Structure 1
Amino acid sequence: MKILVTGACGYKGTVLVPKLLANGHDVVALDTQWFGNFLPDHERLQVLEQDVRDTHAIDLNDIDAIVHLASIANDPCGDLNPKLTWEVSALATMQLADKAKREGIKHFVYASSGSVYGVKEETQVTEELSLEPISEYNKTKMVSERVLLSYANEMTVQIVRPATVCGLSKRMRLDVSVNMLTMQALENRRITVFGGDQTRPNIHIEDITNLYLFLLDNPQVTGVFNAGFENISILDIANRVVEKVDAELVVTPSNDPRSYRINSDKLLATGFKPSKTVNDAIDEIIAAYKLGALKNETRFHNLKWMQANNLA
């Protein structure tokens, strides 16, 4: 297949695109490249430095499927410039879906977020529960989901609500919980946890990118799917890190008691199986750091980089 991947130079896209190429697909990688381009050169890869908001300029000729990853990622970045967030994460998605339908694209995979549920008291947060998003980021995800589902009779629509992703990517993110805490321990020999009882769902980057491959290979699997396999507290993550890195753990009070959980039984029933864990991510980050293959760069922190470069 020939696949358009938006946000292809991001944290997940940088891992996904080489897998698509290895599976024999042709890939068009579209990204503003605000955080750089870490994709490999390949004869079947076309990399476009392009803004997803310029929908009219996106060439869908010969495209068989779209994997739509592009968005202003995470709550703090989304709140930095709400207008930009709505333009990129909602309006552009709506326009791309409409264009895809008009041009006969038959397969659309959308990266939503497990945070669309808001804060739930239920221990098992399934796809049937109401969506009560809190931030601009997850509000745009909810709206985009609803728009895409309206095209379900026109094309295969697969919506993924991922947990917080962890693990290594060449376009790394060090502002997500597992990665951040591991890097704190390695660099500072000290981890500061605010509160710690807050629960977060997690998924390894190898598993979330393998899930996109699975969905492309299984167009009969349609609808909305949670994707997260370890609902664990921030303090538990920190304790796992200090078991592997000689670092001090400091717990301080927090005024943010919000916990997020998701249940992924619906996804597991499709036959998809995860292969990696939070512990694997911690081990891999430690190994890469010790080898000098991973450094704490500003562009690996979305909010800091966007502020430093006036990107919002």
Structure 2
Amino acid sequence: MKLFVTGACGYKGTVLVPKLLEKGHEVVAFDIQWFGNNLRPHPMLTVVKGDVCNPEEYDLTGIDAIIHLSSIANDPAGDLNPKLTWEVSCLATMRLADMAVRQGVKRFIYASSGSVYGVKDEEQVTEDLELVPISEYNKTKMCAERILLSYKEEMVVQIVRPATVCGFSPTMRNDVSVNMLTMLALKNGKITVFGGEQTRPNVHMDDITDLYIFLLDHPEHLGIFNAGFENITIREIAEMVAKHVDAEIVVTPSNDPRSYRVNSDRLLATGFRPKKTVEDAIKELVGLWRQGAWQDSPSFHRMKWMQQEIL
């Protein structure tokens, strides 16, 4: 298939695109490249530097499927410039979907977020619960989902609500919980945990990117799917890190009591199975750090980088 992947140079995209190429797909990688371009050249890959907010910059001629990863990622970054967040994460999604239908694109896979549920007390947060988004990022994801579902009679729409992704990518994020705590242990020999009892759902980078490929291969699985396979506390993550790095855990008070859990039974019922764990991600990151293949870079901290270099 010929695929149009937005956000292709981002944290997930830089891992997903080589997997798509290995499967024999032709890929048009579309990205504004705020965080660089770490995709290696390939005869079946076309990299287009462009802004998803400008429909005139992308060409969907001959495209069979879209994998839409582009967004202003996470709550703090989304709140930096709410207008831009709505334009990128919601309005651009509407324009892309509209153009896709007009150009005859038959498949649309969308990367939403598990945070669209807001704060939930339920132990099992399923896809059927009410969405109560609390940040600009959450709200734009919810609205984008609704927009895409309005096109479900005209193209196959598959929506993924990922948990927090962990693990290595050439376009790394050191500001998500597992990656950040592992880096702090390696750099400082100390892990500072704020609160620690907050539960966070997690998914390994290889599993979330494999899931997009699984959905591409299985258009019969329609609708919305949670994708998070380990609901664990921040303290538990820190303890996992300390098993592999000689580091002290320091717990300090937190004013953020929010906990998030997701249930992914609907996804598991399709036959998809995760292959990796949070602990796998930690071990891989530790090995890469010690080999000098993973480092701390300003662009790996999205909000700070956007404040300094973009906004």
Q: Where on the TM-score scale, by shorter chain, does this alignment land: which range?
A: over 0.9
TM-score by length of 1: 0.99
Take 1:188 and 1:31, find their aligned partners in 2: how far apart are those partners? 34
Please name the residue that 2:84 is paired with.
Answer: 84
Q: Could you state the TM-score of these two structures normalised by the residue count of structure 2?
A: 0.99
Q: Secondary structure at the match of 2:173?
A: coil
The corresponding residue for 1:307 is: 307
Q: CA deviation at 1:297?
A: 0.5
C-alpha deviation, 1:243, in angstroms: 1.2
> CA offset at residue 127 of structure 1?
0.2
Instruction: State the superposition RMSD in angstroms.
Output: 0.5
Alignment correspondent of 2:135: 135
Q: CA deviation at 1:245?
A: 0.5
Deviations 1:180-220 (A, max 9, x none): 00000000101100000000000000000000000000011
List gaps (5 residues or longer) in structure 2: none
**1:277 matched to 2:277:** yes
What do the CA deviations read for 1:107-161 (whole angstroms, capped 9, x no partner)?
Answer: 0000000000000000000000000001100100000000000000000000000
Cα distance in structure 2, aligned partners of 1:77 and 1:268: 31
Could you tell me the percent identity over the aligned residues? 68
Structure 1 residue matching 2:5: 3-state secondary structure: strand
Quote the residue 1:46 is aligned against. Answer: 46
SS of residue paired to 1:209: helix
* Shift of residue 303, structure 1, vs aligned partner: 0.6
1:67-101, Cα deviation, whole Å (9 max, x unpaired)? 00000000000000000000000000011001111
* 1:171 paired to 2:181: no
Tell me the amino acid that sits aligned with residue 9 of structure 2. Answer: C
Q: Aligned residue for 1:267?
A: 267
Rounded to whole Å, the distance in 1 between the matches of 2:80 and 2:307 is: 9
* Whole-angstrom distance in 2 between the partners of 1:92 and 1:271: 32
How far, CA to CA, are the matches of 2:190 and 2:50 in structure 1? 40
**2:222: which partner in 1?**
222
- What's the CA shift for 1:56? 2.5
In structure 1, the gaps of 5 or more residues are none
Shift of residue 103 of structure 1?
1.0
**Cα displacement (A) at 1:308:** 1.4
Regions of 4+ moved over 6 Å: none
- Distance, in Å, in 2 between the alignment partners of 1:288 and 1:298 is 18
| C-alpha distance in 2 between matches for 1:150 and 1:87 | 19
Partner residue, 2:237: 237
Counterpart code for 1:271:
G
Question: C-alpha separation between the residues in 2 aligned to 1:222 and 1:65?
Answer: 14
Question: What secondary structure sits across from 1:241 in the alignment?
Answer: helix
How far 1:57 moved relative to its partner?
A: 2.4
Q: Secondary structure at the match of 2:244?
A: coil
Q: 1:277: how far off?
A: 0.2
Q: Structure 2 counterpart of 1:73, which letter?
A: A
Residue 4 of structure 1 aligns with which residue? 4
* SS across alignment from 1:243: helix
Counterparts of 1:173-188 in structure 2, within 5 Å, are 173-188=173-188
Q: State whether residues 2 and 27 of structure 2, in contact with CA within 8 Å, keep that contact through their aligned partners in structure 1.
A: yes
The one-letter amino acid paired with 2:157 is V
Partner AA of 1:274 in structure 2: P
Instruction: Give the AA of the match of 1:184.
Output: L
In 2, the alpha carbon distance for the partners of 1:238 and 1:144 equals 34
Report the secondary structure of 2:71's partner residue.
coil
3-state SS of the aligned residue for 1:201? strand
Match of 2:160 in 1: 160
